[in-house]
Amino acid sequence: MAEQRSSQWYASADRNAYIHRAWMRRGLPAHAFDGRPHIAIANTASDLTPCNSHLNEVAESVRQGVYEAGGIPLNLPVVSLGETQVRPTAMLWRNMAAMATEEMLRANPIDGVVLLGGCDKTIPSLLMAAASVDLPAVVIPGGPMLTGTFAGKALGCGTDVWRLSEEVRGGTLSQEEFGRSESSMIRSRGHCNTMGTASTMALVAEALGMIIPGLAGTPAPDSRLLEASHETGRLAVELVAQGRRPSSILTRGSFQNAIVALAAIGGSTNAVVHLLAIAGRAGIELTLDDFDRIGAGVPLLVNLQPAGKYLMEDFHRAGGLLAVLREVKDLLDPTALTVTGKPLVDHLDDARIWDPEVISIRSAPLQPDAGIAVLHGNLAPGGALVKPAAATPRLLKHRGKAVVFDTIEDLHARIDDPDLDVDADSVLVLRGCGPKGYPGMPEVANMPVPKKLLTRGVRDMVRVCDGRMSGTAYGTVVLHVTPEAAAGGPLALVRTGDYIVLDVEARRIDLDVPADELARRVPDTATVAGFAAPSRGWEKLYVDHVMQADTGADLDFLVGSSGDQVSRESH
């Protein structure tokens, strides 16, 4: 076996190696330094990230597997981001979490790493870090929660929050009943049980090859998660022994497979910005148009909320991701490897669909071509996204008058004003919510329908925003509009009463205003005032260096990698 990276810290007889060994001898025996691989367990467990709070138990199973395979497991707490808890938005810190994890992996005497994530931003940040440091790495997703019920009906975590809250606003559900549903929504440990961002990123990470095939989607309380975590600990030792690094797994073909999977499962639009960022770290050229080119014709096969009926517990019992991918095997790159050392397609032969109500066969899809659509036009020169599978079909071709909100606060203040000049054909426009403008690109694009329209039975409208929306959300929402308003994008020039034309089939989103008129316009004072550049701290660093959504909203100086080498000793 080649000399381990950790031997650079421990193998010498000099003073520095003595210090490194001595300070680790608080439980580690002498043979821990005899060349055995040291495996970090990058753990995002936190009581303030409720979806990841069980990962300490998962880490213990990983530890046992590492020991069994002859390695030395080492707990490494890393930045944890709770989507439901942190303000102003977890996305503001995704890049910080990735940077901090990368630096800690590089700085410490480790040979490989097991990455424990679950809640939305944790798996993307861990994969970004792993791609940049390129130590042998493998992901364990924490898994979705079990299905909760209220009034005899299953609750989709997130999706039913949006639905029930709109029913309250529309007067069809009492505030008391809404409050009673709260304790039923979160039945167990684990992340959202819809096909939201957390579930999507776990499944997409498996399609990328960074998870043991068949593991993603295992419910968090399921004993098989701990069994697989033990096996992943063993695999981490093998990855080090064979020198199998993310750079050998995260190839152009693996991103093709991830895009196919994203479309077939009806996954979150957030996966686009995360995959672009991961590709940027891995040195893979990936663009927005690749998502449309590769994914547009992929059939939707998974009947899960918010695009369908069922939930992740159903998806797992119905056959999971491998059963889906077997149906679209011909669309996958046959050479793209997984952490097992075998191509992803080699793991599909034994996969089966056990419930065709949840996972459809290729010849009878829920929708024939439901991949995320990439739009261009004079309103989004750099591109924008819409998720047809979660939209109202009749609204995918639409022309309506804009009703403009300059900030999320402006939206909250006026959306339910009975004097708001809005009807069912209007197009709601929210700006100031991009990476720079908020800052952090929050999940606010799925704007609430005005109350006076809700009471008339309206449940969807065309909405346009430079922010994101939760993967658990639904509706005809054009989001990730690039460039954002705060970066000088045309969205800053839209005025209430302007006509906006959406044509998803033609892949267009346009402001129906003459070009010479647009050239004369300047942003309204309120639009400019809505963006106040921060003066210090992470927010200033972020705003000064964040890129736009069409490249993954990473920081410009973090794109690419620096490898695992550390040139200087600390003593």
pLDDT confidence band for 563 (50 / 70 / 90): very high
Stretch 179-201: mean pLDDT:
91
Percent composition of the chain: helix, strand, coil (DSSP 3-state, to 5): 40, 15, 45
Tokens 């709601």 belong to residue: 428
State the Cα–Cα distance between residues 519 and 301, nearest whole angstrom: 45
How distant, in Å, are the alpha carbons of 126, 189, 274, 281, 508 from that of 286? 19, 35, 11, 11, 21
Question: Has residue 151 got a pLDDT over 90?
Answer: no
State the Cα–Cα distance between residues 474 and 460, nearest whole angstrom: 9
Q: pLDDT value at position 526? A: 62
- Give tens-digit pLDDT for 316-361: 999 999 999 999 999 999 999 999 999 999 999 999 999 999 999 9
Residue 170, number of CB atoms within 10 A of its CB: 18
Q: pLDDT value at position 571? A: 83
Taking each helix axis from N to C terminus, what angle separates 252-265 and 320-327, rounded to the nearest 10 degrees?
Answer: 100
Q: Where in the chain is the domain with CATH 3.50.30.80?
A: 373-551
Residue 35, number of CB atoms within 10 A of its CB: 15
Helix (H) or strand (E) holding 276: helix 270-282
The third-level CATH classification (topology) of the domain covering 373-551 is Glucose Oxidase; domain 1 (3.50.30)
- Give tens-digit pLDDT for 527-555: 655 667 888 999 999 999 999 999 999 99
